Amino acid sequence: MSRVPLAAGCLLAAALLVPRWQSPVRRAAHRLRVAGLARPAAGLGRRAARVDVIRLGAALAGLAVLVVVGGWVGLFGAVLTATAADRLLRRVEPRAVRDRRLREVADLPLAADLLAAALRAGAPVDHSVLAVADALGGPLADRLGRVGRTLLLGGGPEEAWAHLTPVPGADRLVTAAVRSSSSGAALAGALTRLADDLRADRATAAEASARRAGVLIVLPLGLCFLPAFILAGLVPVIVAVLGDVL
């Protein structure tokens, strides 16, 4: 059997096994949520399955290098390839994590506005946070629910609002909430200004992303045009000049 088809088969097996390894974990996590069991256990199961899938893909990539190259050089290249693939794949953000992060960032300005409205209505901070969590829904609501329950049970502001720290852009909200609890400053006005700033940041980021997309669209055209220009325009001139000189 030729080495190249065998290596291609190893890579194809890696590509086909990834969704098959992920689907049982997703089904198990769904059953745990339906049964009302602890979510951290499902999260640990997903992370463990992702690590197994990454290791399997890295091992198959290393095996493909070993099959193609062969010998001690191939073995050394296989080890390097497997190690590099493992590290690169671990840095790739899973789609579920990316979708959750984008949803949290999108809901953060609305959550700040709702929380400011509840505080202006005279509700305590813990009840306001829980009310916003019930009205908002989504992954950010889960974090706000943990914040509200921690405050309701007597936890400190730093401990409670730390649940929002992983959300991009929420550090300013956390700082304002902790400072308000310690200094007595009005939190509603700070949250309203924060919501406006977050929306402005999102608009700026969207504009920058659109400009970057325009550059990336033109880049393949430039990569195709430059070699053609060199071959069709410069090479004949250089050949003609060299022919006259020599």
Residue 195 has pLDDT above 80, yes or no: yes
Specify if 131 maps to a domain.
Answer: yes
> Which residue has 């949803």 as its token pair?
103
Clarify whether residues 171 and 107 are in a common domain: yes
192 vs 20, which has greater pLDDT?
192
Query: Per the structure, how many domains does the chain have?
Result: 2
Predicted confidence (pLDDT) per residue in 82-99, tens digit: 788 777 767 776 777 788
Q: Which residues contact 60 (CB under 8 A, 6 or more apart)?
A: 10, 11, 13, 14
Which CATH number does the domain housing residue 113 bear?
A: 1.20.81
Assess contact for 57 and 89: CB atoms under 8 A: yes
CA dist., res. 131 & res. 137, Å (int) = 11
**Is 73 a member of any domain?**
yes
Same-domain status, 115 and 84: no
Could you give the 3-state DSSP secondary structure of residue 19? helix
Provide the pLDDT for residue 48: 57
**One domain for residues 167 and 105:** yes
Using CA atoms, how far residue 198 sits from 51, 82, 117, 130, 215, in Å, is: 34, 41, 17, 22, 26
**Top-confidence residue, 138 or 75:** 138
Do the domain assignments include residue 118?
Answer: yes
Residue 146 pLDDT grade (very low, low, confident, very high; cuts 50, 70, 90):
very high
Identify the pLDDT of residue 230: 77
Structural domain boundaries enclosing 72: 51-92
Mean pLDDT of the chain: 76
Q: Is the pLDDT of residue 111 over 70?
A: yes
Same domain flag for 115 and 197:
yes
CA distance 130 to 19: 37
Residue 209 within any structural domain of the chain:
no
Residues 6+ apart with CB under 8 A from 38: 32
Residue 23 lies inside a defined structural domain of this protein: no
